[in-house]
Amino acid sequence: MRSEVEGVIEQLGYQNLRPGQEEIINAALDGKDVLGILPTGSGKTLCFQATGQLRAGVTVVVEPLLALMRDQQLRLQASGEKRVLAINSQLAPSELSVVLQNLSYYQFIFIAPEMLTRPDILRALQAVKVGLLVVDEAHCIYQWGPDFRPAYLRLGDVRQRLGAPVMALTATAPENVRSVIVRQLRLQNATIYAGSVDRPELFIGRESLLDQRAVNERVGALLAQVAGPAIIYCPTKKLTEQLAQQFSGLHGRRVAFYHAGLDGHTRTLRERQFTEGSLDTLFATSAFGMGVDKPDVRMVLYLGVPATLEEYMQAIGRAGRDGQPALTALLYTAKDAQHTAGMLANLPSPILVKALYRAPKAYAGSDDPQIQLVLAYQQAGYSASEVNQALDARIGSKQKAFSAVVNFLQADGCVRAELLHYFDSPAKTHDDFCCGIADAGVLAQIHSEQQADNQGFNTWQEVFKQIFNVSD
């Protein structure tokens, strides 16, 4: 290892490097573009913190959430680095104009893509030397760019104008997503480090159930059998509230629900309570998770059919970060699959795009998500036909991603192998603590066997073997 790297990681409070980190840091220090796919945890943060400390010039870090900017800022400040800035809407306009004139003072600048694509801010950054552009949670480019946050699609432009090498980091990116990231960010001869995304400590269960009632009962049974903190992902806000009420206090569990309809204060509070342990069971939508780093989540249940396997992998990946065994299960009904399928083409039509481009002011302030999306494209500098083109391509890629989900649901071999094959990543060898498939009929049988043999369980392996019909 380079000695200067060694010194910096020690200063940042880390013991040593994990696989991949050294390759990523070295490539970035040499001024190369790099895309790093690393399993969850602090692994990615260390990469850009260390590189940023050692490279001349400002390190600009694109983060998707205000909460992530805040966390990262605090972490760096705690390690003794004071030249850290977060540029976002929390900054008063007067403060913003002051910092924009003093950007070169800072070593790290955290910013959301919407702010980074703003002309005045981009100009201010162009005027200083940017040594490194980091795109954290880079899968957002693919996952959120086209139909949620189009500013993510303008990062290639930004990169070109700043003239800095790029370090893109994510935990989940199969080959097709990697190529989207490379193309969108205009990476040149990028060093791609893709570690295995397998998580051997996770048991991966997959169950098809008859109806929603059966799903709910199954959730109750699993909450009773598996002790420890649990996240139950639900497809709708309404279901998070229903289930939280239904299972409140069950087996002494301290339960809450979490979704984007809650006010910011409550969200922050519940996240902290869950992280610190005064809540142990969270019924949540996909709003919960990014940036949450709770090590001892023992179970993640995913209710419904995800639109992409990335989304599913991100969700179950929040279990067992301490490396101890954890249970994950996908619980779905046939209706769930149809529900998800029906949402795929739910994007603004060319008619709406045309109307909005003719009279944008008439629609300003609308809370319709489709209108907001088109306006965001417009703000990001897209022409109407470019928007239509982007949305059209998006429908195709969503359908493709969903067909991978359907294949995954239908595959009857090793579930883990199937999943990791999609991520172009090697999987551990199948064993008892690997994965399992169950369907409604098998479950009824297991349930009655469990009632007959009410002995309690000794090891995680036994629990999982009994809960699931582990395939051989």
Which residues make up the interface to DNA (CB under 7 A)?
64-67, 87-90, 111-112, 114-115, 118, 143-144, 147-149, 235-239, 259-261, 285-287, 307, 335, 338-339, 341-343, 346, 365, 368-369, 372, 376
Q: Which residues pair with 207 in a beta bridge?
A: 331, 438
Q: Tell me whether residue 130 or residue 414 sits nearer to DNA (CB atom).
A: 130
Within a 13 Å sphere around the CA of 354, how many CA atoms are in the beta-carbon half? 3
Q: Tell me whether residue 260 or residue 444 sits nearer to DNA (CB atom).
A: 260
Q: Tell me whether residue 133 or residue 427 sits nearer to DNA (CB atom).
A: 133
Q: Tell me whether residue 1 or residue 393 sits nearer to DNA (CB atom).
A: 393
User: Whole-number minimum distance, CB 434 to DNA, in Å?
Assistant: 29
User: Whole-number minimum distance, CB 282 to DNA, in Å?
Assistant: 12
24 SS3 class:
helix
User: Whole-number minimum distance, CB 352 to DNA, in Å?
Assistant: 12
> Which residues are CB-contacts of 377 (< 8 A; sequence separation ≥ 6)?
150, 386, 387, 390
> Which residues are CB-contacts of 369 (< 8 A; sequence separation ≥ 6)?
none
User: Whole-number minimum distance, CB 337 to DNA, in Å?
Assistant: 9
User: Whole-number minimum distance, CB 409 to DNA, in Å?
Assistant: 16
**How many C-beta atoms lie closer than 10 Å to residue 258's C-beta?**
24
Could you tell me which of 390, 396, 380 has the C-alpha nearest to residue 350?
Answer: 390
Q: Tell me whether residue 149 or residue 199 sits nearer to DNA (CB atom).
A: 149
User: Whole-number minimum distance, CB 287 to DNA, in Å?
Assistant: 3
Amino acid type, 110: F
Could you tell me which of 402, 143, 424 has the C-alpha nearest to residue 290?
Answer: 143
In terms of C-beta distances under 8 Å and separation of at least 24 residues, what long-range contacts does 77-81 make, across chains too? 79/11, 79/12, 79/13, 79/49, 80/11, 81/53, 81/107, 81/108
User: Whole-number minimum distance, CB 321 to DNA, in Å?
Assistant: 20
353 SS3 class:
helix
Q: Tell me whether residue 90 or residue 104 sits nearer to DNA (CB atom).
A: 90
User: Whole-number minimum distance, CB 372 to DNA, in Å?
Assistant: 5
Task: Write the DSSP string, 89-123.
Answer: TTS-HHHHHHHHTTGGG-SEEEE-HHHHTSHHHHH
CA distance linking residue 280 with residue 236, whole number of Å: 20
Structure tokens at 121: 């801010």
Q: Tell me whether residue 282 or residue 420 sits nearer to DNA (CB atom).
A: 282
Q: Tell me whether residue 87 or residue 319 sits nearer to DNA (CB atom).
A: 87
